[in-house]
Chain A
């Protein structure tokens, strides 16, 4: 294999991603003669590395580009953070079904906090109404109940959102690794990485994942400007979203929004690793259960009847 001296170095292999980046950059350069720098920056952001492999400076750039886009879209500053998970924290949630009255304050508190589309409507929390006669029976439950007042005497209410599984089936099926479980136990989605295949929607046994079939309708006035890259930043058409235990709040030491708005105190949140937390008290003193235990998803969302 005698190669001439000037061809001696091993030809560099291009990954498909890099090849695409090159092609698109050329196309962008060709089509746009003015304002190249911003365009190529946007392209670089579009073709950035996987979130877990992003060096800090590139991550900063990606966050800045999203902040710029949101500023343009909503006409007000929207902060996009990427707060790392806290060491020594693993989050758990408990819900007292005997106290929940089905008022849906949590559903709309969540909407206010997490920037989901208002039209078409996306709710991360579904409150199911069930018959006391039948017990917990998902097949005969309804989310569409609407009496004048709640609770109705013969009914009980069962709120369901993401169960933050220890073995999340949604993560297992994602073909592009756009969703994963963080060290603090929260299952997150990188909306930049999601290709919208909706495998996770079908894999989730709890109906907790929601797809943006249309461009999310989010009025500028309703935007919560404190956002997290892997959490409540406004989404685009064609990506999946779900509850993150309010990652933007809990990593700052605050309670999730639904815990704060619940008028009956049925919702409990805390650090499973802290023996003094209220969540540990509940696990040790109440008869708890998890939803669809037989699937071995190991939710970190516990239900109980406290009264």
Chain B
């Protein structure tokens, strides 16, 4: 980021509104500081949004009444590690490389409220993109840059990401077909 932290005064002025000399000199001073610190063209700051702000992420979309998993799965439970279809989770349709993968490849065996990376490290559900990125590296790279997935918020300020799982069901990731909205009306035939 190229704009100094103190640049809060730089804002959009509606046309026709007079500018006080103090504000001008202040803005010039801040601009001077900003330019001195800048190695590149400064991006505009709008509505006093700090563009260096952290990215807000919406919460993981848990099915209703399913989380925390530890309500049913206790750490001391004996675990059957044989890959199989688990009938208790009848709402889960598993279509995610099902030949080679199953629940415990992503969910931790002992602590069901967390995910598990290939390294064995535990991972909060809010950081699940790291888990997805283990296989889908190019997607993670593009998502981090804001190319993959949808960005909302402000193009110039704080941007909001969605997690991978907000759009792709982790158990069945392919995007589901949608009903299209109505086609445009054909022009009236000439009489």
Contact = CB atoms under 8 A, between A and B. Distances in A.
Interface stretch (A2-10, A22-30, A272-280, A293-301): A272-280
Contacts of A87: 44
Contacts of B182: 104, 146
A268 B175 CA distance: 19
A260 B146 CA distance: 13
B116 to A, nearest CB: 28
Contacts of A105: 181
A211 B190 CA distance: 17
B49 A253 contact: yes
B16 interface: yes
Interface in B32-48: 40-44, 46-47
Interface string B163-191: 00001000000010111111111100000
A81 B14 contact: yes
Interface residues of B, number: 40
B68 to A, nearest CB: 29
Interface in A257-277: 259-260, 262-265, 268-271, 273-277
Interface string A96-115: 00000111110110000000
Contact of A101 (B40, B167, B175): B175
Contact of B14 (A57, A83, A262, A273): A83
A42 interface: no
A198 interface: no
Contact of B178 (A101, A120, A259): A101
Contacts of B147: 268, 278, 281-282, 285-286, 306
A253 B155 contact: yes
Contacts of A83: 12, 14-15
Contacts of B124: none
A125 to B, nearest CB: 10
A206 to B, nearest CB: 16
Interface in B90-138: none
Given A255-B155, A282-B147, A144 B12 contact: no
A145 interface: yes
Given A271-B44, A286-B147, A150 B177 contact: yes
Contact of B43 (A57, A82, A250, A274): A274
B70 interface: no
Contacts, number: 139
Contacts of A144: 183-184, 186
Contact of B15 (A56, A270, A273): A56
Given A86-B46, A276-B43, A281 B180 contact: no
A254 B142 CA distance: 21
B156 interface: yes
Contacts of B146: 268, 277-278, 281
A107 to B, nearest CB: 7
B31 to A, nearest CB: 10
Contacts of A269: 155
A104 B186 contact: no
Nearest to A107: B181
A88 B184 contact: no
B4 to A, nearest CB: 15
A248 to B, nearest CB: 13
A150 B180 contact: yes
Interface in B1-43: 1, 12-16, 40-43
List the 3 closest A-B pairs by CB distance, nearest first: A56-B16, A278-B146, A265-B150
Given A145-B183, A147-B180, 18 more contacts: A59-B16, A88-B42, A89-B156, A143-B183, A143-B184, A144-B184, A150-B177, A151-B177, A252-B46, A253-B155, A255-B153, A255-B154, A255-B155, A264-B167, A265-B151, A271-B43, A278-B145, A278-B147
Interface of A: 56-57, 59-60, 81-84, 86-89, 101-105, 107-108, 120-121, 123, 126, 143-151, 250-255, 259-260, 262-265, 268-271, 273-278, 281-282, 285-286, 306
5 contacts: A81-B14, A101-B178, A250-B155, A265-B167, A277-B155
Interface of B: 1, 12-16, 40-44, 46-47, 49, 142, 145-157, 167, 175, 177-186
